[in-house]
Amino acid sequence: MQKDPSLNVFGDPLIPCSVAPMTGYFRDGHCNTCAQDSGSHTVCAVMTDEFLALSKYLGNDLSTPRPEFGFSGLNAGDQWCLCAARFLQAHEEGAAPKVQLAATHIKALEIVPLDILKQNAVTA
């Protein structure tokens, strides 16, 4: 699998999203992607209780530990490379998590407009 160039939504080098928990399609801590990543795991999202509840309701339970897959479950405040379409859906439902823009892959822009990502950006 060939990774797409590791650039963020600003065209700068992609910074890590999270190594604890380890995230990313490649489980390398970055929201890198490639042609085989059909879910486009490109948005570095900061989990909230509201988003985790919505995701579970929609059939993707990210909060329950799955030790058989080496997954400890996510909690509010954890950062995770989220599927761009799920982020957009959560935004439309009013439950979008916050976003680390410098750690969000430029390919996310093929699904989520930059202005929507900026509306949900983490502020310092």
pTM > 0.95: no
Cβ neighbors of 88 (< 8 A, separation 6 or more) are: 111, 112, 116
Name the stretches of the chain with pLDDT < 50: none
pLDDT of residue 1: 66
Greatest CA span in the chain, whole angstroms?
38
Residue 123 identity:
T
Q: Strand 79-83's sheet: what is its strand order?
A: 79-83, 41-46, 98-99
Cβ neighbour number for residue 9 with a 10 Å cutoff: 24
CA 75 – CA 55 distance, rounded (Å): 12
